[in-house]
Structure 1
Amino acid sequence: MISCVEHVLPDGVRAKLWVLRNPDGAGVSVLDRGATLCSVIVPDRHQRMDDVTLGFDRVDDYFASREFLGSVIGRYANRLSGASFVLDGERHILSSNDGRHALHGGADGFDCRTWHGSVIATSEGEGVRLELTSPDGDQGFPGEVLASVSFVWTEDNRLVTDFEATTSRPTPINLLLHAYWNLSGQPSRCAIGDHLLTLHANRFLPIDAEKIPTGELVPVLDTPFDFQSERRIDEGLEADELQIAIAGGFDHCWAVDGSGVRPAARLYHPQSGRVLSIATDQPGIQVYTANHFDSRIAKREGSTLYRHCAVALETQQFPDSPNQPSFPDTILRPGRRFHSRTEYSFTTR
């Protein structure tokens, strides 16, 4: 079942919020501002429903704050070093908003835009498709890009997301969903450290002092980055390790084993019994443990966010790929279509 509510903000701006529910009452809500996943309500092992992703109480707050809570990131997610890249012999200068680097598409990325949404029917169920036109030169990126993302919520508590894009000129593309997860449903009282994480990845991308990948892919074995077997997140967060000190926690990309749509990560909260399993066709998954959050960021019901209260598990292309010759090619060219799929499955044990 899908419903849509239109909100009128004090300044007259209109925003649409879609709510998708299955017969058991579990579901998600999606806002056209930033194509944002605002809520994910799923049961624990005792069938208690809670919201397991971070978001705001009021629609207005998604316009006033840029915390990437559930928003779609583009045109190129994560960091691009020096806020520039060379493509076909031409250097393109981007909007720098992370020191001298570009982060999450620049100062006015896709998360700051209002997308056009419509209800769709798929073989897996009904959903919402949101579309955006990014003009040539947007934040310094070449080419007019037509981008879309669809959210489908199934009867067995799966969220299926599909990204697509075309372009009028060659341009780098890295689109992702920047959702934060805390499966307790109570992030104001339960930090992310007690969650158990599994990553289907035997290599990760180390970063330099400015959080730019060094270009290496390093084996995780015998390091705090080894989540090939289920481990508590705080075992890594508390490790005496330079890479973790640089980021203030985890803010790294892992190279997902295999190809095609395959398992990438599993997050488990023992107290509630909730399990989130993520499958993707993307080469990497960024694990970010909300290292910058502090009490100035208001969330729901008067609570505030704090450091390490949640984890983002962002399926994506490798960061800074246009400037890293050894990384997979992320250039979309005219006549071709970018497509990626990530599936989020919610169960209990």
Structure 2
Amino acid sequence: MSKENGMRAWGFAGAALLMAAATPALAAEAKRSTFGRLPDGRTVEAVTLTNGQGMSATLISYGASIQSVIVPDRQGQPADVALGYATIEEYLAKPQYLGSTVGRFANRIARGRFTLEGRAYTVPVNNGENSLHGGTEGFDKVNWTVRDVKSGPTASVTMRYVSPDNDQGYPGQMTVDCTYSLDERNQLTIEYRATTNAPTIVNITNHAYWNLGGEGSNRGAMGHLVTIPAQTFLPTDAGAIPTGEFRPVEGTAFDFRQPRAVGERVREASDQQILFGRGYDHNWVIGREVTRDLHLMARVEDPVSGRSFELLSNQPGLQFYSGNFLDATTVGKSKRLYRLGDAIVMEPQLFPDTPNRPEFPSARLNPGQTYRNIMVYRFQTSRGAAATAGE
């Protein structure tokens, strides 16, 4: 081989090595397995998404739910940061919306009634006198069909549920796809898409409970630092139905424009809204409409473990719930009781009771339209020294 040809060959080889070094390995994998069986014999599937950074997420077809999310801390030690059960029998025995997809209409509808095109509809009442998260047999209590599982630079699973006309009283047949994906940047993305064959209403979200210290740890989530970039929130009546007021957060226990520990003001009995919710269970106004792009909804950090996430979405509202009804009667995956304040929930969505509030962004979905709710959890780990956070 001539010197010139040798140099050319080295150049091609060198370029190939550089390209290989610059291209991330296809480390994200999706593995399908059986989680359990329903009483009628149907299989509940599990799909575990794993990347090369030590993060994984396990999703189950029952309720299109997050069953676990494992993230390393600042020392590289992994922990499951999502509350959930170890078996399908526990999901059936004590439903808690743990990581579930909720719909057709997430959150509350006053007295379980709304009007669409001049016709009155009634949906099941399951939260006092109101309807919550789609009713008694909402999306969280059906077994979705796993349609697609992919590995690659991004691992993903897509599940589908076809909700029949008059399902829980809602009009129109609705086809809903839920896609979970995990990439090498530790981004866990949830995307909901829905279409209908008749005018209907829709508001779908995910009800994951987060404890960034680990769902099996002795620490709750009250020491988590939360930032919510909202100027106003929606005060409610005693039944958690918005009054219609857009109240400024300034000077209230609802001001999270700067990072604050959840537990700092969660028990301020001088605030009637805290009394109504037994803590935080309200909708923060991030915008006034669904957008094409994604915007920051919240940032959550656990100073002790160093784990944090940023939550982005295209939705106008963020329901922030401080785990007020975890009453130590639920036994989690780690065989520990889930107690008051052990986790928090962040739900990007339309505003509660939207169908009865013309001043709120519309929840209507027509044939030919596609509903979309995209949520991106950007998990990160700080490298600083461990901090001490109050409980």
TM-score range, shorter chain: over 0.9
Whole-angstrom CA distance in 1 between matches of 2:300 and 2:159:
27
- Deviation sequence 1:181-208 (CA, Å, 0-9, x none): 1100145511211110000111100010
Is the Cα–Cα contact under 8 Å of residues 262 and 322 in structure 2 kept in the other structure? no
Change (3 A) 1:92 1:41: same
Residue aligning to 1:268 = 301
User: Residue 287 and residue 124 in structure 1: after superposition, are their counterparts in 2 closer, same or farther (change >3 A)?
Assistant: farther
Q: Give the aligned residue type for 2:314.
A: D
C-alpha separation between the residues in 2 aligned to 1:319 and 1:185?
30
- Name which of 348, 351, 364 aligns with 1:331: 364
- Report if the CA contact (8 A) 1:251-1:286 is conserved: yes
SS of equivalent residue, structure 1 residue 140: coil
- The answer on whether the counterparts of 1:187 and 1:309 sit within 8 Å (CA) in structure 2 is no
TM-score, normalization: structure 1?
A: 0.97
Quote the offset at 1:156 in angstroms. 1.4
Gap runs ≥5 in structure 1: none
Aligned-residue offset at 1:121: 4.8
Asked whether the 8 Å contact 1:264–1:280 carries over to 2, the reply is: yes
1:260-318 deviation per Cα after TM superposition (whole angstroms, max 9, x unaligned): 30111000000001111100000000000111111111112221111111000001111
Judging changes above 3 Å, is the alpha-carbon distance between structure 1 residues 124 and 199 closer, same or farther for their aligned structure 2 residues? farther
Whether 2:281 is the aligned partner of 1:248: answer no
Cα shift at 1:341: 0.8
TM-score of the superposed pair, with normalisation by structure 2: 0.86
From 265, 276, 291, the equivalent of 2:324 is 291
What is the CA deviation profile of residues 16-62 of structure 1, one whole-angstrom value per residue up to 9, with x for unaligned ones?
Answer: 00001012331100000000011110111111110111011223212
Contact in 2 for aligned 1:119/1:126 (Cα 8 Å) = no
AA matched with 1:245: L
1:66, 1:122 → 2: CA distance? 31
Question: Residues 153-192 of structure 1: matches in 2 within 5 Å?
Answer: 153-186=182-215, 188-192=217-221
Corresponding position of 1:234: 263
CA distance in 2, matches of 1:297, 1:250: 20
Separation in 2 of the partners of 1:318 and 1:344?
A: 21
Q: CA deviation at 1:114?
A: 0.5
Farther-moved stretch of structure 1 (58-67 vs 299-308): 58-67
Q: Which piece of structure 1 moves more, 53-62 or 149-158?
A: 53-62
Which residue of the partner structure matches residue 108 of structure 2?
79
Q: Is the 8 A contact 2:50 2:155 kept in 1?
A: no
Aligned twin of 1:112:
141
Opposite residue 347 of structure 2, the aligned amino acid is E
Distance 1:179 1:331, change over 3 A: same
What's the secondary structure of 1:119's corresponding residue? strand
Count of residues in correspondence between the two structures: 349
Match among 120, 130, 149 for residue 101 of structure 1: 130
Alpha-carbon distance in 2 for matches of 1:187, 1:233:
19
Which residue among 24, 30, 42 is the counterpart of 1:2? Answer: 30
Runs of 4+ in 1 over 4 A off after TM superposition: 120-124
CA displacement at 1:122 relative to structure 2: 9.2
Deviation per CA, 1:93-137: give whole Å up to 9, x if none: 111111221100000000000001133559961200010000100
Greater Rg, structure 1 or structure 2? Answer: 2
Deviates more, 1:6-15 or 1:135-144: 6-15
**8 Å CA contact 2:229, 2:296 repeated in 1:** yes
Conservation of the 8 A alpha-carbon contact between 1:287 and 1:313: yes
Determine helix, strand or coil for the equivalent of 1:139. Answer: coil
Equivalent position amino acid for 2:172 in 1 = G
**Identical columns (%):** 36
- The match for 1:303 is 336
The amino acid across from 2:34 in the alignment is E
Q: Does 1:34 align with 2:34?
A: no
Instruction: Specify the SS of the correspondent of 2:46.
Output: strand
Amino acid at match of 2:340: R
Give the counterpart of 1:152 among 181, 189, 210.
181
Q: Distance in 2 between the 1:272 and 1:154 partners?
A: 22
> Which stretch of structure 1 is more off in the superposition, 230-239 or 109-118?
230-239
* Contact 1:188–1:304 (Cα < 8 Å) also in 2: no
Cα RMSD over matched residues?
1.5
**Aligned residue in 1 for 2:26:** none
Instruction: Quote how far apart the aligned CAs of 1:7 are.
Output: 3.7
Deviations 1:150-209 (A, max 9, x none): 000111111011110001111110000100111001455112111100001111000101
Deviation at 1:71, TM superposition (A): 0.4
Matches of 2:80 and 2:110, distance apart in 1: 35
Distance verdict in 2 for CA 1:280–1:308, change over 3 Å: same
